[in-house]
Chain A
Amino acid sequence: MTSSAPARWRFLGTATGIIAVAALAALPFLVDAYMLHWAITVLKFAVLTLAWDILARTGQVSFGHAAFFGLGAYVAVLASSTLGLGQILSMLVAGVVAAGLATCLSALFFRVRGIYFAILTLAFAEVLKVCATMLTGMTGGAMGLSARPLFGGDAVKSYFFILILALFTIATMWLLSRTRYHFGITAMRSSPEVAAAFGIPVVPIRTIAYSVSAGLTGVVGAFYAFYTTYINPESAFDVAISVAPVIMSIFGGLYSIAGGIIGAVTLTLLQEYLRTTFEYGSLIVYGLLLIVSILFMPKGVWGLVSGLASRQRSPAREVAS
């Protein structure tokens, strides 16, 4: 009994995972182009949310991931148009550049914490937006840049690209959760000082987390640029890009893969639906959800679900012992 309950849950988890991956692989052959676009959007936000969560797990909440999203978008478009790199290579370069920038920034940015870090990152994204608008020679200014469509406009290939990126992100996070760094990161979140007193290399972990988080966000930005074939400063450095992962994580449940996915899927679909329904103000629901989440559901949907699940499981554990 003692071992069977966790084993059963693990089996359920694995089974769900396999079925989900199979369904996702089959999806493009089952749905129309419109639905496929939605699926791509959902996956895009799932990666953004999970990437953001990697940094959040160390205890720093960024309100400015649009900086890396937009940077990735511009770098990829410029790399492919001016340097003539292939699109996939351009997207990788975008990720590397974003990660590199984050590495450089971390020594400066992590000098502040909490709300000040949030405001700092927000301001940084805005600075990049201004740069993108004003450096017209390179970026085309407010007019933006257009790019060749990704995979020659083959939405199914685009879908598989973003799906693989999502699975890669999930796999990375899952593998990380099995190493000692998972413990180090969780401990840092409680208190970086105390964590350091127990030998946890706080500074390198934080730097790497920020870089990985930024790199993945940069790749998504690059993907977005090629997928939509057009970027401008307003769309690439949109505050909404910074805020989406915060909202999705908090709604779904912070610091967990499942929470991030739940948040990204639910809110992206909701938002897409509302946007097609209302001309203005579709973000009202977003705002209200945030308020309600913080007031009544601070651990998010996943926190609620896993809380209920563990409450159901705990009597079994007592019987067993």
Chain B
Amino acid sequence: MTRRKLIAAALFFTLFGVIALLPPLVLLFRFDARIGGVPVETVYVFVLWAILVIGARWFSRVLPDDDQLLRHTQDREP
């Protein structure tokens, strides 16, 4: 992926997290069922949370490190 696409993906990932944690989407998981005794909405919130952490770790590795780029452009400026 190009630099711009990666950044767009990171933005989408963040916004996806926001939407997934707010009603109406979160209400989808509000039904009376239990997984291993735990209500399904609780499982949903924690699993989504874990996915967000894993995704954030991936993005933290692949998002461009533009410090060098920055220094480069600064050097060129008079």
Q: Is B one of A's binding partners?
A: no
